[in-house]
């Protein structure tokens, strides 16, 4: 396994919404290294991280999930991991592309997920 990571930031919604997004990605990346916990209702940003191996990534089988509110999701990691996360999230939720940025070794992509 490689030591690279896919990081996920979820803003908007609540901890349960962030957990729903993370569970959708666990079908591809396995258990999250960091998982958003329950909060007192005051947190506005939740994060999670996945260790990404060198194997070929295949998007998870979409199972439609429901969120309680719109959330903005940012995924950051290797280009292959980000593409796979994007495909999984857009197959699981109603998603709108909000832009991306690319570097030498990493990509970042934002999606707006709607209930």
The number of CA neighbours under 13 Å toward the Cβ of 35 is 14
Contact 30, 48 (CB under 8 A): no
Q: Is 93 exposed, middle or buried (0-12, 13-18, 19+ CB in 10 A)?
A: buried
State the pLDDT at residue 38: 66
User: 4-11 and 45-52 as β-strands: parallel, antiparallel, unpaired?
Assistant: antiparallel
Kindly report, residue by residue over 88-111, the tens digit of the pLDDT.
999 999 999 999 999 888 999 999
pLDDT band, residue 4 (cuts 50/70/90): confident
Which candidate, 74, 33, 34, places its Cα nearest to that of 53? 33
Burial 100-114 (b: 16+ CB within 10 A, else e): eeeeeebbbbbbebe
């Amino acid at each position: 396994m490689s030591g690279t990571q896919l990081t996920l930031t979820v803003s908007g919604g609540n901890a349960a919404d962030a957990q729903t997004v993370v569970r959708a990605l666990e079908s591809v990346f396995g258990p999250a290294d960091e998982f958003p916990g329950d909060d007192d209702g005051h947190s506005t940003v939740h994060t999670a991280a996945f260790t990404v191996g060198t194997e070929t990534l295949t998007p998870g089988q979409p199972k439609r999930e429901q969120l309680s509110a719109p959330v903005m999701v940012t995924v950051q990691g290797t280009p292959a991991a980000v593409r796979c996360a994007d495909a999984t999230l857009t197959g699981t939720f109603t998603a709108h592309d909000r832009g991306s940025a690319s570097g030498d070794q990493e990509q970042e992509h934002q999606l707006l997920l709607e209930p």
